[in-house]
Chain A
Amino acid sequence: GDSVTQMEGPVTLSEEAFLTINCTYTATGYPSLFWYVQYPGEGLQLLLKATKADDKGSNKGFEATYRKETTSFHLEKGSVQVSDSAVYFCALSAWAQKLVFGQGTRLTINP
């Protein structure tokens, strides 16, 4: 079945550091790919998405590129801030918007 594997956390970085959170997937067909974020005390919210190969999703300085050849959708940000501390979930949707999530990566940014 469809699955998503994320880089294990927790990840701790200093402010202004470069961030990469790895995500790979297994799916039949051509899924859409997502990054969701969960800030402390809040619900899951969409960070960015890509719906076809080579698409790049971007939002709030975060980027991820849909790589079909490596079945990957790694999340990157050039300079993280304390406010980026949250749990990040990679997810795919291959049918009827049903989401398959990775296990999540907790990110902590220290000032």
Chain B
Amino acid sequence: GAGVSQSPRYKVAKRGQDVALRCDPISGHVSLFWYQQALGQGPEFLTYFQNEAQLDKSGLPSDRFFAERPEGSVSTLKIQRTQQEDSAVYLCASSSPHTSGGGTEAFFGQGTRLTVV
């Protein structure tokens, strides 16, 4: 597709339910990121993949959060036993660095808004 696609756009989960959020990055993009954006705040880093390798998961808030990218393209963020504090917009971004360093543009999806009730 033309951009980063996330599904579902909206998800309402009952507390304690497991959820799975999907991200389809731009074709050919090596790097994939997940961010969590609470209401009225900036996005906060969760985890980073380079191809299928999860190189950084330092931002995952608890062991209830798990992300995978088994074939180096589509990624899934899974949250087990959801809690109210998990309510947020979950953003996925992808990029294709040609050089090392931090100047490469990241392309963001529209996000999945998760509401835990």
Contacts and interface: CB of A to CB of B under 8 A. Distances in A.
A106 B101 CA distance: 29
A51 B45 contact: no
Contacts of A45: 107-108
B45 A43 contact: no
A51 B103 contact: yes
Given A44-B43, A89-B42, A99 B101 contact: no
Interface residues of B, number: 30
Contacts of A44: 43, 91, 93, 108
A32 interface: yes
B104 interface: yes
Given A43-B109, A43-B111, A97 B102 contact: yes
Nearest to A45: B108
Interface string B52-68: 00011000000000000
A35 to B, nearest CB: 12
A84 to B, nearest CB: 19
A24 interface: no
Given A49-B105, A99-B93, 11 more contacts: A32-B102, A32-B103, A43-B111, A46-B105, A46-B106, A51-B102, A96-B48, A97-B48, A98-B48, A99-B106, A101-B35
16 contacts: A32-B102, A43-B109, A43-B111, A45-B107, A49-B103, A51-B103, A91-B42, A95-B102, A96-B50, A97-B97, A98-B48, A99-B45, A99-B93, A101-B42, A101-B44, A104-B41
What 8 A-B pairs are tightest by C-beta distance, nearest first? A93-B102, A101-B42, A51-B103, A32-B102, A44-B108, A43-B110, A32-B103, A43-B108
